[in-house]
Structure 1
Amino acid sequence: MSQVKESIEVDVPVTTAYNQWTQFESFPQFMDGVERIEQRTDTLTHWVTKVAGVEREFDAEITEQVPDQKVAWVTVSGQSEQSGLVTFRPIDPAHTEVTLMMDFDPEGMAENIGDKLGFVDRQVKGDLKRFKHFIEHRGAETGSWRGRL
């Protein structure tokens, strides 16, 4: 099992950052390799990804959700084993630290080599930078889900 942890400061209030993160179907707009996400229930999402020519489909279940604080998930079926947690920490009323932590199990030689070369770390760092750009340039979230799990 491999791990990655990256953080970024975004120039929006914590509620705006959190609300946008709960809009899973918007992830392809800022996450490289995410082709599509379908929100099937309040806690279940279906992902289609394509990274380095390898397409994967899997379902992820949200296991914990606290508005303006965190969202945790784990894959429950499909071609990818991972779990993760994204946290939101207000720095001041207009700035938020977003931290993404993931545990994942690389499959096959190519994924293991990519992991050892830091591909996933760079991918996550890039995704967070694109999230920052996405939310700061919009200035507002595309929607929200304020449920608690």
Structure 2
Amino acid sequence: MLHDTVRVNAPLRQVYDQWTRFEEFPRFMHGVVAVERTGARHLHWRTNIAGVRRDFDAEIVDQLPDERIAWRSVGGGVHQRGVVTFTPVDARHTRVRLAMEVEPEGVTERAAAALGIVSARVSGDLQRFKHFVEDRHAATGAERGRIRPSEATGPQPAGGGAPEAPGRGTPPA
């Protein structure tokens, strides 16, 4: 389980709205080539990490505006699930917490995970997100719809499809 937290010097709504601009992820997530929305709750990811190219799909299993977004991978040989939560610190600051479970594939990915490289990448991505948001006066857009776990396609893993967010409890089903 990977977790990290960052305090962003921007209001909750701006921070949440920017996170929902998945197409912007390559601007602050290393190794992410592109993220395309393929439906109201589906995303197609293209990554290139250490020369390993992958395409996979992800499904948003829970989205509550200004509070949380939970997802899981659905194909492409990538096995991950996670939840990002947003908490106002005050009117001008927001805490972003990310919890992810990632199953590394192959010897190289297992070694990278064991050495803490994956955890460091997640931490770096959150720091770059913080700076990305703070360098702007407004989000580049927003997806504010409510998505409930009961609306997700396919069988639901225990816990609503995402790991528990540190300090927030398991997302309600």
Q: TM-score, normalised by structure 1?
A: 0.97
Q: Which amino acid aligns with 1:13?
A: P
**Paired position in structure 2 for 1:99:** 97
**Deviation at 1:66?**
0.3
Choose between structure 1 and 2: higher strand proportion.
1
Matched, 1:90 2:88: yes
Unaligned runs of 5+ in 1: none
**Following superposition of structure 1 onto structure 2, how do residues 62-81 of structure 1 map, counting pairs within 5 Å?**
62-81=60-79
Which SS does the other structure have where 2:118 is aligned?
A: helix
How many matched pairs? 147
Q: Comparing both chains, which one has the higher relative contact order based on Cα–Cα distances under 8 Å and sequence gaps of 6 or more?
A: 1
CA deviation string 1:65-124 (max 9, x = no partner): 000000000011112100000000000000000011100100100000000000111000
**Paired position in structure 1 for 2:140:** 142
**Deviation at 1:144?**
0.5
Q: How high is the sequence identity, in percent, across the aligned residues?
A: 48
**Paired position in structure 2 for 1:126:** 124
Matched, 1:28 2:19: no
Which SS does the other structure have where 1:138 is aligned?
A: coil
Q: Structure 2: how far apart are the matches of 1:17 and 1:120?
A: 24
**Following superposition of structure 1 onto structure 2, how do residues 102-113 of structure 1 map, counting pairs within 5 Å?**
102-113=100-111
Q: Which amino acid aligns with 1:99?
A: R
Structure 1 segments of 4+ aligned residues over 6 angstroms from their partners: none
**Paired position in structure 1 for 2:37:** 39
Matched, 1:53 2:51: yes
Q: Which amino acid aligns with 1:42?
A: A
